[in-house]
Chains A and B, each alone.
Chain A
Amino acid sequence: MLLTDDQKMLQETAASFLADEGSIAKQLRHWRDTDCEDGFGHDLWKQFGELGLTGIAIPESYGGLGLGAAEAALVLEEIGRNLTPSPFLMTAVVAATALEGTAHAERWYPGILSGEAVLALAVEESSRHAPEQTALEAKRQGNGFLLNGHKQFAVHAASADMIVTAARTSGSPGDSNGVTLFAVPRDVAEVENVNLTDSSKAARITFKNVELDADAVIGEVDGGWASLSRALNAGRAGAAAELVGVASGASALTFDYLRTRKQFGKLIGEFQALQHRAAHLYGEIEIARAAVLKAAQMLDSGDERAELWVSVAKTKAADVASLAAREGVQMHGGIGMTDEHDIGLYLKREAVLGELFGDIYYHRNRVAELSGY
């Protein structure tokens, strides 16, 4: 449960890169205030590529770093701390994992490595995470498939070169068998870009008789569930790591405020009512970080308990990030309610990441089911 020297070096690289180039002023506020349709900057994504970070999950045989969830978590924590909008989680972690070992890897890995390609995942069909409920119909037609149905909350899909899409080729919603992953070019479906609370973008996608060739299938027909689960678990662990970063960033702002803001002739950090809440928050963040590290290590070692730990990590990190953001706004007082101050941005980001790939209720239920109750 200690970081290796290599991991510490990666952490330092990511920390200084994202603090400098990925700062709130340079990225999040800039793209938000200029109404950027992507919600992130492509130049920064190319810089991720120059540093090799886009290849974090891509095998060395393809020119990637061939690292695992533990290393991705270190980068994502820094992304979370700086609220840096980027395709890193969806493209370099989730989509790269979904494509692993398939013919589509050859096609897309070079673009991911250079920071030019942006990929997305379309899995949700209702307002709540339920991947096994996939209903988007993919019917065989000639040499290919005909898709009808819809997707939503597909992060960055309107900016994506390709959307990894979960569709049903057999069975009924609720079955994990019969789900197939397709590589869908963005321009073949109706993609409506939606601005989310944190200024990130997700799409509603409508498939009306969308024709796809057989080679659009990622992996095996009817057998997409295993890859989808791997990609989702990588995404959950990654979102959890980003949430720990969000919690850390929000609490750092708040603890600084407690050390500098004066009321009643005192620094407000002298008040024990605030000290105890701050100390509690500090401990919770440490615990969440440990849970994320454990989940990532379990994923990387292929442990059979990995799925349980991923749900633990996602829940704990979302819970704690929410606490950090709520306490952050409250302890900042009036200034915390203003758009000018950054603390409110953490509250917005925490809400979106908390929902992504399953909220705390989804994952608590998973923990109960996987524990046999």
Chain B
Amino acid sequence: MSDLDAFRAETRAWLEANCPAEMRQPIRSEADMCWGGRNWTFQSDAQKQWLEVMAERGWTVPDWPKAYGGGGLTPEQAIVLKEEMARIGARQPLYSFGISMLGPALLKFGTEEQKRHYLPQIARGEIRWCQGYSEPGAGSDLAGLQTKAEDKGDHWLVNGQKVWTSYADKADWIFCLTRTSTESKQGGISFLLFDMETPGVSTKPILLISGNSPFCETFFDDVKVPKDQVVGEVNRGWDVAKYLLGHEREMISGMGLGEGGSLGAATKPSDPMLRAEIAAFDVDALAFQAMSERFTAMWKAGEAHPASPSMMKYAGTELNKRRNELVMAAGGSDALEWAAKQPRDWLRSKGNSIEGGTSEVQLNIVAKHILRLPGA
């Protein structure tokens, strides 16, 4: 038996013994997804227990170093863990922007002290993070952001406004892009971390067309942030921001993988014309799944182009929008009932190709950095 086979056998046995039956059920609603944080109310004992045993093993972040609360797994072992979880339908124990976005940026740009302080909290789901990037005047043109952080000697004084801050009203801390210099657009940005309970921080949810409010406006009014809560160098925050965006785009591209399995098998379309369209979709979805596996392997091996998350994000989100269109078509009038899941998912999916950089911005990036087209 190879080491990897042994790891698989061991993992399978451990998951069988430790994953509560309830945590093997498909996700039916937002509440089934555990986000953790100071104010999280566990939906059930099983949800709490699942997070605790997984965090204990470092498996909320399987490939992070053990010293920072991770599992220390090799990329191959991490894939085996994912496969074995999928095999029993185990839910992800923790959904977290700390894991998918801030963590990788801290691992690359954080000081040793910052890593030891923040990463284990993220791994255990103790602190829920939100992302302060977009502003009313800085969407696709993100580097045009104006939220000001002034150096007041012993602290930064932050004033300004963010928008599209996912779950800002539920988050404990924010990673926030601020302007610390006006001398250059991209060269005057700093990446700050601070507590959302700091005086001067307020949030206001935005009601979306889906009827839900996953995003907020976030306001900063004379918010004092300790000097050591900056990641990377002052005025070099754009490097951190872009690196993190790569991870965000990679995460968002995962939407292209849908909820697993064939759309045709799930919807059993009786109309031959619809069946043909769904089959065409299933082909593209499976091909994207292969791309996703290949991209992940190449990214980890350092063989992927640095701009390739833009290609993945574009393809994955466009695919997810198409999936939702077809789910609506297959559902017919049932899918139009406002209490059903379909219309909300469908409406929400329209944002996929806007958030994290629009499809058009991703195509600009591919044209410029990968295809090297002139003037792009």
A residues lining the B interface (CB < 8 Å): 1-2, 255, 258-259, 266-267, 269-270, 272, 274-276, 278-280, 282-284, 286-288, 290-291, 293-294, 308-309, 311-313, 315-316, 319, 361, 363-365, 367-368, 371-373
Contact = CB atoms under 8 A, between A and B. Distances in A.
Nearest to A365: B279
Contacts of B303: 2
Given A1-B294, A258-B374, A279-B314, 9 more contacts: A1-B293, A255-B373, A270-B376, A278-B367, A278-B373, A293-B294, A294-B294, A367-B279, A373-B265
Contacts of B275: 368, 373
A219 to B, nearest CB: 31
A269 B291 contact: no
Interface range for B: 35 or more
Contact of A291 (B287, B296, B360): B287
A364 B287 contact: no
A365 B264 CA distance: 11
B287 A316 contact: yes
B284 interface: yes
B87 to A, nearest CB: 15
Given A279-B366, A293-B294, A373-B264, A368 B284 contact: no
Contacts of B374: 258-259, 267, 269-270
Contact of A283 (B269, B297, B366): B366
A368 B282 contact: yes
Contact of A367 (B283, B294, B363): B283
Nearest to A3: B303
B287 A290 contact: yes
Contact of A282 (B286, B371, B375): B371
Contacts of B335: none
Given A2-B303, A283-B311, A290-B291, A368 B373 contact: no
B373 A275 contact: yes
B21 interface: no
A282 B308 CA distance: 11
B290 interface: yes
A274 B363 CA distance: 11
A361 B277 CA distance: 11
A2 B376 contact: no
Contact of B371 (A1, A255, A364, A368): A255
Contacts of A286: 291, 308, 311
B86 interface: no
A312 B288 CA distance: 10
Contacts of A288: 287
A373 B264 CA distance: 6
A276 B367 contact: yes
B279 to A, nearest CB: 4
- Between A275, A279, A284, A372, the greatest number of chain B beta carbons within 10 A of the residue's beta carbon is seen for A279
A250 to B, nearest CB: 14
Please list the 8 inter-chain residue pairs (A to B) with the smallest Cβ-Cβ separation, ordered nearest first: A270-B375, A279-B366, A294-B290, A275-B367, A291-B287, A1-B294, A371-B262, A373-B264
Nearest to B286: A312
Interface in B180-196: none
Nearest to B284: A316
A293 B363 contact: no
A284 B308 CA distance: 12
Contacts of B372: 259
A158 B288 CA distance: 39
A255 B373 CA distance: 8
A293 B362 CA distance: 25
A315 B295 CA distance: 21
